[in-house]
Chains A and B, each alone.
Chain A
Amino acid sequence: MTIFEGKGICDAVAMGKISVIRKQKKEIERKNITDTESEIKRLENAENEVLSELETIREKAVGKVGEEGAAIFEIHKMMIEDEDYNDFILNMIKDEKVSAEYAVFSASKKFSELFSSMENAYMKSRATDIKEISERLINHLSGENENITDEEQVIICAEDLSPGETILLDKEKILSFVTAKGSLNSHTAILAKSMNIPAVVNVGDEFLSIIKNGDYAIADGFSGKFILNPDEETVFYYKKKSDEYKEKNDLLLSLKGKENKTIDGRRIDVFANIGNAESIKEVKENDADGIGLFRSEFIFLGRDDFPTEEEQFFVYKKIAEEMNGRKVIIRTLDIGADKQADYFGITDEENPALGLRGIRLCLSRKDVFKTQLRALYKASAYGNINIMFPMITSEKEVDEILSLCEDVRKELRKEGTTFDEKTELGIMIETPAAAIISDDLSKKVSFFSIGTNDLIQYTLACDRQNLSVEKFCDTHHKAVLKLIEMTIKNAHKNGVWVGICGELAADISLTETFIRMGVDELSVSPPYVLKLRERIRNIDLSK
């Protein structure tokens, strides 16, 4: 039994086998072999495994992003079968008598360099595809992928997980996340919260060299412990703990169907934040009144090319229909800073949090932005879609957005495409600048949603991914609360409704403060909806 100490997320416990996601090994050592025939057989087996793995992934992706979006996995299959690529690997094994791993690694280098040296920016980034398929092959050759059956739920262990890496994980099969790095505000943490599963982050790098696929472990979200190969006594203790947790959770479920009303009768909306269409299930299970934040960037991550208008429309329409007339607020692409996609070709920035991200990126890539707006407006015919824009700092940006929206509406009218003319437009208040000029901004839009994660980061000058400044990141800081209060006041003065969609909305120690400030809606991860409802029903504003 080995215990690692990290930071716990979600008051719950997960017990099960682990599955390790390893970053690509930088170098594969040259290893000589004698039996070339069996080496080639090994390669063929690995290729067949990879082909069927890619087919499985492709089929899953079709359900998530449609045929066209899933095409990349078809391409990956074709790349694996490419004659030139295969001939190169086979010749190396035969002529130089090296291991299949080394031959694949060399082919990866050769072919990815071929693409990265091309002038065309699109072709340049195809180098990533070559590296990806080669990595998959090498993993299968070295047996790094086995032991985990498809039916089993697992604890995912990794150094750290980027949004791109998590998007293709089958959420139904994840018990917990455990990462070597990461803070309480990292993506892994936020994802775990949204899935209502425990996670342990920042357990330190050394755990990666000890764990193996298939090892049994316990991830304790209460205490932040990760216990590898626990003894019987420990397992017994944790089983009891996890039963108690389930009992508490069942109690919350009894609040389904009840109103979010304070004792003295003040009603507020409790919405859910989600990042993909699959999460609608959780939204319904937890009885949220609507969707307060759909993070559309997740359609753009974990792939190698822009999603088309049709692909996006497919997702937005599905959400609108599933929510059946209830409010759905979709935030336009918020990429940049900690959420990156290679194909955008964003040059490395010294200070990405203050760089080309959110609406800034959209306004500098109007083609991409307009495609999204068209897809959103088209989907508005199928439900109650509201469009929200991130990272606003000035009135000028809002004017530019509004005129682009008008252009899109004109286009659609001309084409005779139906859409909801009354689609409400709103903005995120997540920079101190936007909060300070909220009086002026509220004259231009229909709603505000306060994004507390970034508002805190920018107000307190604390990088939320940086562990060493976590203690300076006081989420209840007076400056942040004052900005929120000011925003709500200014909005109401101009008849604009206000929600809060950051992590702070789920902080029940602030619920009463927010309601007294007059907030109209709180939007939280689906698992927090009922906890928040319970809190609201116990508040008495008359006291």
Chain B
Amino acid sequence: MKEFTYKIKDEVGIHARPAGYLAKKAKEFESVVTIEKNGKKATASKLMAVMSLGVEQGDEVTVTIEGSDEEKASVEIKKFFEENL
């Protein structure tokens, strides 16, 4: 299992567009990507679940990646957060 924490910089938080692209990205991997905010969890490939976490600017989220391709997935997912959120 891989894990990292990330503080959201985007003004609107994890809004529809990045959540959509994140879901798309997460589906590229076999690993399960989970986002956690204040104890609430959502699977990254599920757009509505991620949006309903209501992640805002300044919130800290914990992202876990677990599965056969977790090495590669965690690098790319982290990169996605840094570039888009």
Contact = CB atoms under 8 A, between A and B. Distances in A.
Contacts of A123: 15, 51-52, 54
B20 A71 contact: yes
Nearest to B52: A114
A79 B48 contact: yes
A126 B51 contact: yes
A74 interface: yes
A74 B13 contact: no
21 contacts: A71-B20, A72-B16, A74-B20, A75-B16, A78-B23, A79-B48, A82-B47, A83-B45, A84-B49, A111-B48, A118-B52, A119-B54, A122-B12, A122-B13, A123-B51, A126-B16, A126-B51, A304-B16, A305-B15, A305-B16, A305-B17
A82 B48 contact: yes
Contacts of A119: 54
Contacts of A111: 48
B46 interface: yes
Nearest to A120: B54
Contacts of A126: 16, 51
B2 interface: no
B17 A75 contact: yes
Interface in B3-40: 12-13, 15-17, 20, 23-24
Contacts of B54: 118-120, 123
Given A78-B47, A83-B46, A71 B17 contact: yes
Contacts of B46: 82-84
B56 interface: yes
Nearest to B16: A75
Contacts of B51: 115, 123, 126
A85 interface: yes
B47 A79 contact: yes
A120 B16 contact: no
Given A120-B54, A305-B15, 9 more contacts: A71-B20, A75-B47, A83-B45, A84-B46, A84-B48, A114-B52, A119-B54, A126-B51, A129-B16
Nearest to A71: B17
A78 B12 contact: no
A115 B50 CA distance: 11
Nearest to B23: A78
Nearest to B50: A82
A304 B56 CA distance: 18
A59 to B, nearest CB: 17
Interface residues of B, number: 17
A74 B46 CA distance: 15
Interface string B55-69: 010000000000000
A65 B52 CA distance: 28
Interface string A119-138: 11011001001100000000
A126 B24 CA distance: 19
A28 B51 CA distance: 27
Contact of B20 (A75, A115, A118, A120): A75
B56 A120 contact: yes
Contacts of A75: 16-17, 20, 47
A114 B56 CA distance: 17
Residue among A84, A118, A129 with max Cβ neighbours from chain B (10 Å) = A84
A347 B56 CA distance: 22
A78 B20 contact: yes
B75 to A, nearest CB: 23
Contacts of B20: 71, 74-75, 78
B10 to A, nearest CB: 11
Contact of B15 (A84, A114, A122): A122
A111 B52 CA distance: 9
Residue among B23, B45, B46, B51 with max Cβ neighbours from chain A (10 Å) = B51
Residue among A75, A114, A130 with max Cβ neighbours from chain B (10 Å) = A75
Contacts of A78: 20, 23-24, 47
Please list the 10 inter-chain residue pairs (A to B) with the smallest Cβ-Cβ separation, ordered nearest first: A75-B20, A78-B20, A82-B48, A75-B16, A78-B47, A82-B47, A118-B54, A120-B54, A83-B46, A122-B12
Contacts of A72: 16-17
A266 to B, nearest CB: 53
A111 B46 CA distance: 13
A300 B56 CA distance: 24
Interface string A67-90: 000011011001100111100000
A533 to B, nearest CB: 46
B17 to A, nearest CB: 5
Interface string A320-358: 000000000000000000000000000000000000000
Contacts of B13: 120, 122
A118 B16 CA distance: 14
B48 A85 contact: yes
Contacts of B47: 75, 78-79, 82
Contacts of A305: 15-17
A71 B21 CA distance: 10
A255 to B, nearest CB: 48
Contacts of B56: 120
A111 B48 CA distance: 8
Interface in A78-118: 78-79, 82-85, 111, 114-115, 118
A305 B18 CA distance: 13
